[in-house]
Amino acid sequence: MLETKIETKLPRLVTPLPGPAAKRILQLDSRYISPSYTRSYPLVAKTGRGAMIEDVDGNVFLDFTAGIAVVSTGHCHPEVVAAVQKQAAELIHMSGTDFYYPQMVELAERLSSIVPGKEPKRVYFCNSGTEAIEAAIKLARYHTKRDKLIAFYGGFHGRTMGSLSLTASKAVQRKGFGALLAGVTHIPYACSYRCPYGLKPESCCTECATVLEREIFKTIVDPEEVAAIVVEPIQGEGGYVPGPPEFLLELQRVCRKYGILLISDEVQCGMGRTGKWWAGDHVGLEPDILCVAKGIASGMPLGVTVARASVMNWIPGAHASTFGGNPVSIAAALVTLDLLEREYIENARRMGQFLFGRMADWRERHRIVGDIRGKGLMIGIEIVRDQKTRERAHDLRDRIVELAFRKGVLLLGAGENTLRLSPPLVIDEEQADFAVHTLDECISEVEKSA
């Protein structure tokens, strides 16, 4: 068995960044790779283990991105690697759309038992988050025989044409691609730090949901034509914004009242990242359809659309995907579920608490820290030019991300001006402490020159 070796659990930088081997890759990348990718800094990864990434020059970084919230059980967890190797040696592919294999039903059964709601579930397998959303859109239209959809400003649901029609996170993601799916209405997402209606946190929260009955259903779309409301319980790409409980529950109430399906996009916030299986579990959300990807298979490509059994009533041939739910990804997912259940969901909760504790006085100590929010290991820090005006400071945020890289900590931004902390769920206190200490230093340095 191949053993991944990274001996240290804290960063160790041995060359200037990028190092000579990285420079060669970057040159080739700039010549051959699609220029649509958005790299924040020149990390060229070679090896991963736990929360650590070693680059092609032997520099070791502490990964607080988890490959965009994907490697939930850390990089190359030995049990995941063993399961992948065993499955690859046995059966790599047979297409679950036309044939059967045991792992597929095993994972479906396990997911059914952890997705909330009393009704039995049915599970559709695909390869990515965007495909899970495409399936949800098609299923909602098919089942309800309605075609309109409600989504939210700041929402991110993927980049294929259907999911892109729901995405309203950054204009560049839509620009140049022409007409998208008709019948999608976007409304504001509740954010207590930046209430779209200018209200105080106490009175905000439900306004963004009550607007549906108060205005949207009277002026734009009749509720009887709405197939689904699609929402992230915690917005991810939009800036790590947790939906307030009252807001999410009001959406659920409106859905039930008008026979609209509630589609919960847990692609980024699900799979234990927030300290519970689903971010919606913190408020008691029971969606009709739940979409999962990213963290479910520790880095192997897998997307899942789980629906109430009576909702998933489409007929053979209505929807499928050749690679969806391939046995190797499913083997990785089964072990991932075990590991999350055994220790990492609880670790995410504990480490989240630890990190929030360490950052508790940052708003007093750092004049450019506007808001610190999130749950478990899904934490957003808004960087502003001034705490009073709350002017977004994306340039300062970007400098902090770049500086952290130079100090050996991998971070990403989310939204216009938010730092995202989304480490693998395996980090320990020493690593959390190191990351938060480094980030503190980076913010101080950037603040001094701002």
Ligand X SMILES: Cc1ncc(COP(=O)(O)O)c(C=O)c1O
Please report, as ranges, the residues that interact with ligand X according to CB under 6 A: 128-130, 133, 156-158, 232, 236-237, 265, 267-268, 293
List the Cα angle 116/118/121 in 5-degree steps.
Answer: 75
CB of 16 to ligand X, least distance (A): 31
- Are the C-beta atoms of residues 289 and 263 closer than 8 Å to each other? yes
User: Closest CB to ligand X among 293 and 411?
Assistant: 293
- Whichever of 158 and 243 has its CB closer to ligand X, that residue is 158
Residue 169 or 192 having the CB closest to ligand X: 169
Task: Kindly tell me which of 187 and 396 has the beta carbon lying closer to ligand X.
Answer: 187
To ligand X, the closest distance from the beta carbon of 362 in angstroms equals 25
The nearer residue to ligand X, 232 or 382, going by C-beta atoms, is: 232
Q: Which is nearer to ligand X, 158 or 408 (CB)?
A: 158
Least distance from ligand X to the Cβ atom of residue 66, Å: 12
**Minimum distance from CB of 387 to ligand X (Å)?**
28
**Residue number closest to ligand X, CB atom:** 129
Q: Which amino acid appears at position 404 of this protein? A: A
Minimum CB–partner distance for residue 225 and ligand X (Å): 24
Least Å distance, CB 149 to ligand X, is: 15
3-state per-residue secondary structure call for the chain: CCCCCCCCCCCECCCCCCCHHHHHHHHHHHHHCCCCCCCCCCCCEEEEEECEEEECCCCEEEECCHHHHCCCCCECCHHHHHHHHHHHHHCCCCCCCCCCCHHHHHHHHHHHHHCCCCCCEEEEEECCHHHHHHHHHHHHHHHHCCCEEEEECCCCCCCCHHHHHHCCCCHHHCCCCCCCCCCEEEECCCCCCCCCCCCCCCCCCCHHHHHHHHHHHHHCCCHHHEEEEEECCEECCCCCEECCHHHHHHHHHHHHHHCCEEEEECCCCCCCCCCCCCHHHHCCCCCCEEEECHHHHECECCEEEEEECCCCCCCCCCCCCCCCCCHHHHHHHHHHHHHHHHHHHHHHHHHHHHHHHHCCCHHHHCCCEEEEEEECCEEEEEEECCCCCCCECHHHHHHHHHHHHHCCEECEEECCCEEEECCCCCCCHHHHHHHHHHHHHHHHHHHHHC
Q: In whole angstroms, how close is the CB of 316 to ligand X at the nearest point?
A: 26
Q: Could you give the C-alpha distances from 228 to 33, 254, 361, in angstroms and in order?
A: 37, 11, 41
- Closer CB to ligand X, 19 or 301, in the complex: 301
Nearer to ligand X, 158 or 352 (CB): 158
Tokens of 392: 């977004």
Structure-token pair, residue 28: 């080739």
CA distances from 278 to 154, 242, 295 (A): 20, 13, 12
Region of 67 (left: φ > 0; alpha: ψ -120 to 50; beta: rest) is: left
Closest approach of ligand X to the CB of residue 290, in Å: 12
Nearer residue to ligand X within complex by CB, 156 or 434: 156
Indicate the residue among 401 and 403 with the shorter CB distance to ligand X.
401
Dig out the tokens for 31 from the structure. 């010549």
Nearest approach, Cβ of 67 to ligand X (angstroms)? 11
Nearest approach in angstroms of CB 163 to ligand X is 7
Task: Give the residue with the Cβ less far from ligand X, 50 or 295.
Answer: 295
Residue 372 Cα to chain centre, angstroms: 17
Cβ nearer to ligand X, comparing 104 with 293: 293
Q: How far is the CB of 297 from ligand X (least distance, A)?
A: 11
Least distance to ligand X, CB of residue 240, Å: 10
